[in-house]
Structure 1
Amino acid sequence: MSVNKLIYVHDPMCSWCWGYKPTWQKLESALANILPIEYRIGGLAADSDQPMSADMQLQLQGIWKNISNQLGTEFNFNFWRECQPRRSTYPSCRAALIARSFNKEPQMIDAIQQAYYLKAQNPSDEDVLIKLCEKIGLDPCLFTQQLHSKELKRRFDDELNFVRSLPIQGFPSLVLIKNNSAYPIAINYTDWRQTLSEIQSYL
């Protein structure tokens, strides 16, 4: 028997996901007794040890300003002065996957977003992720072991392959699974009720 569900595709370091968060939380709450919700990691930027280029830094700061102007989202721009940015979100994605195993994925996502966007910390760095795992109650030694494990690499590869099979164009994205078919759901960044109405029209 097929199970209807809503898939939320995101990346913990996606700035538009951070901007969407207040609206998403209202939608998620409204769907609590209507439809199961499944989080999936999108994988925005692959592993890299190289410093982010100046052009990319300016581009991302411009996106932050745009989101803040459109949605009123808070950003701490000290990040760009106090950290060495890298175009690498895969480490934070893996951290979210580890937390999922302990039913703490939302807590890890929230900790990563708070660190990145409000506290000027860099979740591309492993030491930051280890501190965040402790903050949400995970064992740092076990977390570190899993972060470098072949099993986690396999799970992450499977996750990315699955996400790439979905009808999405970026992050965040919503996909409704009904009767083994996938339907893209339009995201309204400020009106959760509109998105809810679209979802309900399929049910």
Structure 2
Amino acid sequence: MTATLIYCYDPMCSWCWGFRPTWTKLQKALQDLVDADQLAIQPMLGGLAIDSDIAMPDEMKGKLEATWKNIQNTLGTEFNFDFWRTAAPRRSTYPACRACYVARDTGLEEEMYHAIQEAYYLKAKNPSDINTLIECAEQIGMNADGFQKSMQHVQNEHLLEEEIELARRLGLNSFPSLALLIGDRLIPIPLDYKDHINMLNAIKKALS
């Protein structure tokens, strides 16, 4: 029986950006298990914030900028703080989540995830805006018109909301989250943002 490691994330979650280097190391360390069909890695979108055209209040902007500074101080993660002064932020991550959902169909979910993170955290672009997401899609080799049509389809059919509901039912309510699914058992994997070894050992122990 192949076990499944679920990685629940939101492309606009700043702690997911902080976790990215360690998550990359963990994926590489698990590759032998993946190659041996003992383990599958399944991304799942968490959906931090619903669709909104409302400008983010100054109080929330200050709170989120402080979170970025905390992550930078704790993990050494790079951020471009110009975002908070130039990008007209909105509390809306569903469009970015849909972009990752659309990219999954062509095997480009991780590439889209990374493109959105880099646009947001390094280039001070707003992934709540469709134009930013189209740029990211083109950057990873997707067709802009096809991407926009797929985005509309995912929104019309509420496909993202179905995935978010599944994540909630599994108890994956914070991002990032890791959980190992073995048969019908779901085993939460405690996160270590600085070192992948503890997570690797926890996964191997659960598999044995």
For 1:118, the aligned partner's letter is L
CA contact (8 A) 1:51 1:84 kept: yes
Partner of 1:62: 66
For 1:26, the aligned partner's letter is K
Normalised to the residue count of structure 1, the TM-score between the two structures is 0.96
Determine if the alignment matches structure 1 residue 115 to structure 2 residue 119: yes
Partner of 1:163: 167
CA contact (8 A) 2:98 2:155 kept: no
% identity of equivalent residues: 47
Report the CA distance shift for 1:52/1:62 in structure 2 as closer, same or farther (over 3 A). same
Residue ranges of structure 1 left out of the alignment (5+ in a row): none
Partner SS, residue 119 of structure 2: helix
Structure 1 residue 167: Cα displacement: 2.7
Structure 1 residue 168: Cα displacement: 2.7
Distance 2:2 2:163 in 1: 19
Residue ranges of structure 2 left out of the alignment (5+ in a row): 34-38
Partner of 1:5: 4
Normalised to the residue count of structure 2, the TM-score between the two structures is 0.94
Partner SS, residue 110 of structure 2: helix
For 1:4, the aligned partner's letter is A
CA contact (8 A) 1:8 1:175 kept: yes
- Number of residue-to-residue matches in the alignment: 202
Indicate the RMSD between aligned Cα atoms, in angstroms. Answer: 1.2
Distance 1:145 1:176 in 2: 34
Report the CA distance shift for 1:150/1:109 in structure 2 as closer, same or farther (over 3 A). closer
Distance 1:151 1:126 in 2: 13
Report the CA distance shift for 1:152/1:135 in structure 2 as closer, same or farther (over 3 A). farther
Per mean C-alpha deviation after superposition, the further-off stretch among 163-172 and 38-47 is 163-172
Distance 1:187 1:65 in 2: 20
Partner of 2:85: 81
Partner of 1:49: 53
Per mean C-alpha deviation after superposition, the further-off stretch among 116-125 and 139-148 is 139-148
Structure 1 residue 154: Cα displacement: 3.1
Partner of 2:19: 20
> After superposition, what is the alpha-carbon deviation per residue over 1:137-180, rounded to whole angstroms, capped at 9, x for unaligned?
00100111111125763321221111111133400000100122
Distance 1:91 1:150 in 2: 10
